[in-house]
Structure 1
Amino acid sequence: MIKKDTNFPYSDRQAFDRLILLIATLIHNPGVGYSAPDSSESKEDEHHNAIKEVQTKLWETAKSHHISLPEGYPALPTIRKDLEYLRQRGILDKRMYRWGYYLGTGVMSLDELQLALNALSSQAKYQGDAQSRRIYETVTKRLKGIDLDNKGKFLYPIRQTLNRAVGHTDPEEMIRLGENQNNLFHKIEAVESAIMNGQAIEIHRTKDSYGTGRIGYLQVFPLQLIYYDIAWYIIYEYCDSNHLAIRRVNRFTDYCKVLSAKSRSISEQHKRLQDAHKLREHGWGLYLGGVEEQKQELAGNSIFETVKVRFFPPVTDFIMEGERRHTRHKIIKGSKDKETGQPTYVDYVIKLPERSFKEFSLWVFRHMNHAQIMAPSKLVQVHRDAAQKLLARYLENTENLATN
């Protein structure tokens, strides 16, 4: 029979359970014990306050698991001793936890966490996501110890996404700058909750930049929040028509009412979200079409027209680089220039539903005189008319300057 080691500090059942309870507390309350720099507490009491908060959270953890502890147990010196034991065993690092206690990095390695923080930083800083900003600030405070150990390399932003939101998205920032927009970002948490719970909401739209006529109060099932190019958008389904749409978040007011009588399962939410993304992937841009267009397209009965655009140097290189611009496109090189050895033009060919022609045209217009639409005829006419109107405007301005 193995002799019991009486020198082991946790051979007693109560002491062992206390240690396990402390570990459970640190797992479920990452950052516990952090004293904010602007705290009114004196510096002499900061360490004591940190352990006191750990003690309070430990009692809450015990209560939630129906574990009865003696009054005032464990005492603060006992918890301090247990924390030191966790350091000795490598469960806690052998460093100061000035920004709160936590165990490891959860489901990620340090390298994985560093990459995830880069993405979170971009979303917080450039896409203006208030929730991401709060989480990033909290997590980076906790990780300051690791960053100091790595001489500032851990929190270095190796990767960033610089696409910046063109409108205000952070309610706290709006208030600080005196630029309150009273838009749906003020109720974004309610929208996210409705998405996860399959609840319909009533929201209010004041702007209709595309002439759809859908303004005023709308009853919808919100499906997802997405960031695209320069702004945040919401994907939703109209309750009355099952029409799927994608609209800019900041074009809605801060009115959001949950319609408790209208709800559905998360599986139905996910199915309709997949339908929305299927339509988006078939087309070009974010316009998903009208109700009947969507029904026909999702049923596989839509007619996709072949669109062909001829691009000329110097933009040909940029077109050829976009090998994954769309899942169904073809890039065909023209004849070679005898002097440069490069294609004299590149044809970009893709099949699109007619609902996407307007957004596709906007992409072509970016390349000005280096692009020529070859098919279909209706798009050729649109491009030609736009070029003629632009020329006429320049000629008019030239004449005005000559007479002034």
Structure 2
Amino acid sequence: MFELMFCSLLTILPDYLFRRYVQGKRFGKEITFFSIWYELRWGITGCLMLTVSLITMIFYFHPSTTSAALYFRTVPILPEGSGRVAEVNVGFSEPVKKGEVLFRLDSSKQEAALETAKRKVAEVDASFTTAQADVTKSEAQIQEARAAHQQAKDELDVKSDLQRRNPGIVPQRDIEKLQVLVDQRQAGIDAATAAKQSSVLRVSTLLPAEKASAEAALAQAQVDLDKTFIRAGVDGRVEQFLVRVGDVVNQLMRPAGVLIPEGAGQQSLQAGFGQIEAQVMKEGMVAEATCISKPWVIIPMVVTTVQDYIAAGQFRTGEQLIDPQNIARPGTILVFLEPLYKGGLEGVTAGSSCIVNAYTGNHEEIVAKETSTGRKIVLLVIDGVGLVHALLLRIQALLLPIKTLVLSGH
């Protein structure tokens, strides 16, 4: 309507004023409905064409959308395993801090496994003490074997010396027995040495490995026990937390609830603009928004990100070929906007639906020296008609509560 009235000032009104005050024609006499159309047909046609052109230019260079919302991420509250709830520490809706225990699962099995792992570590520590004693015992046995070997060797040397000096004084059979005894005592030394090496290896290698395995099993048991305590991963707020003692929860079928991170839905606004505006939407564009949860307020925004992909065109590998005509409706260009001023989204409820206008700005090109005069005029007109869209947004913001509360029938 505003565009039609504006265009009529440039076409129909001058024509009418000329015929009324210059030619002296009057309503009901020379000016009738037929004569208005016949005499003003060029003005009416020009008015309609100019109106369509103006509306097209406004909505193309200054796009608008009602598909905008403060989307926010939720974190599902899920245990890493499954189990029965044994204790609940938060209510239906409550703020929580990172690391705070939300609820606890039954942990009798994990506690038993942890106690078994502790006993295994204690058993390995006891084996260390026994192995140290075995090393000491092996050293004593080596000393004993060496003493016995030395004694047998000395006796063999004495009798061998006597036999050499006075042949026949010592029976040959006795010398042979002593030689066998010396070899036997040497074997005893070797056996004691091998036993010591085995004990030393057990202390230095085997038992440390067993203790490391036992400690790893203990750590695993402690981790499994800790997993029964479900904690908040971030600062935020739990909402609609209905899990109670005795409920069974698991990752696939029975999540416990959702955690909304602190500040979720307060940093940026996401809006979907038509695909025809893909060449117009740029990062850094100034925009304005009005939201249902905060009526009669215009929030200055700035475009921070323009997504290069349209969600309607995505697909996953499957057994069927893709047919483009199966796309139910064309997708939109996803745009992220942030408040131009700090605290701009304060008071706007996360998830609220909004209306967004974006405005094309050509100031840098207009002030550039190499820009021609004709192009400067065109760019000034494009930037100037953004005022019409800004006015329309304010009218929408003014009528939004009335439309929502009265005209919607609620």
Quickly name the TM-score band, shorter chain normalised.
under 0.3
For CA contacts below 8 A with separation 6 or more, give which structure has more relative contact order. 2
State the TM-score, normalized to the length of structure 2. Answer: 0.20
Normalized per residue, the structure richer in helix is 2
